[in-house]
Amino acid sequence: MKLYEFGPTRSIRARWMLQELGVEFEAVTVNLQAREHRHQGFLQLNPAAKVPVLVDGDLVLNESVAIVLYLAEKYADRGLVPADLRLRADFYRWMLFAVTELEQPLWRIARHTALYPEKDRIPADVVLAGREFASMAAVLENHMKGRAYVVGDRVTAADFVVAYTLDWADEAQLLGEYPTLRSYVERMYARPRAPGRIGDIFQAIRSGSATAAAGA
């Protein structure tokens, strides 16, 4: 299997899943800063020009959560996708909550503070997105009180998606009011096979450490 990735990005979700499964994979760095995602070879894998992409035999799959779900089901015997239908419903619910309710405002904030050219940034949307994130984070904070994991009483792939998304929020300094979520993120990233945290990977890129920059 090959994972096309770039350290401090949603690639972390796919890498986290592969590492927890203990599956051998070849990591291929697509340096977004060097615009390698716009190279013809990569566009053939993902015309959307985005990482991550997983190649497994003749399967070429993009979308970080689709990759996580594919791997969870391919290695269902490892128990990272709940076998029980009701727990699995909850598993899908929180994965989708992470990408639609938490990530979506974080993405808007990233675009309007750093990614769009300055002339296109809308500061008012940063304020709105911050508010929307806060109300959804409060829902998850309540859900996580007294729980170790997002679904049921054991770790699932949903935890990797949620914890990565909350680490992104932490980078954006939006987790201050959510002590339960902060300690959950700490616990998840303390797992022996967890990837690096976004802040550490950015730091490694700045200091030129290739392994850490890949999130390994």
Ligand X SMILES: N[C@@H](CCC(=O)N[C@@H](CS)C(=O)NCC(=O)O)C(=O)O
Contacts of 156 (CB under 8 A, 6+ apart): 72, 79, 80, 81, 82, 91, 149, 150
Q: How many chain residues are in contact with ligand X, going by CB under 6 A?
A: 10
Does residue 128 belong to the site contacting ligand X (CB under 6 A)? Answer: no
The CA–CA distances, whole Å, from 49 to 11, 34, 161, 176, 204 equal 13, 13, 21, 33, 24
Give the Cβ contact number of residue 87 at 10 Å.
16
Find out whether 54 and 2 touch, Cβ atoms under 8 Å. Answer: yes
State the Cα–Cα distance between residues 197 and 216, nearest whole angstrom.
Answer: 10
Stretch that binds ligand X, among 49-57, 133-141, 158-166, 207-215 (CB under 6 A): 49-57
Among 51, 69, 81, 181, binds ligand X (CB under 6 A): 51
- Residue 216 as a binder of ligand X (CB under 6 A): the answer is no
Instruction: Out of 4, 5, 10, 144, name the contact with ligand X by CB under 6 A.
Output: 10
- HSE-up (13 A, CA, CB side) for residue 100: 6
Residues 6 or more apart whose CB falls under 8 angstroms from that of 65 comprise 13, 95, 98, 99, 161
Which of 1, 32 has the CB closer to ligand X?
32
Q: Is 110 in the site for ligand X (CB under 6 A)?
A: no
What gap in Å lies between CA 36 and CA 43, rounded to an integer? 9
Return the residues of window 18-47 that contact ligand X according to CB under 6 A. 32, 37
Task: Report, in Å, the least distance between residue 54 CB and ligand X.
Answer: 10
CB of 13 to ligand X, least distance (A): 7
**Binding residue (CB under 6 A) for ligand X from 7, 18, 28, 63:** 63
From the list 1, 21, 49, 216, which residue makes contact with ligand X (rule: CB under 6 A)?
49
The residue type found at 27 is A
Choice between 30 and 141, CB closer to ligand X: 30
Binding site residues, ligand X, CB under 6 A = 9-10, 32, 37, 49-52, 63-64
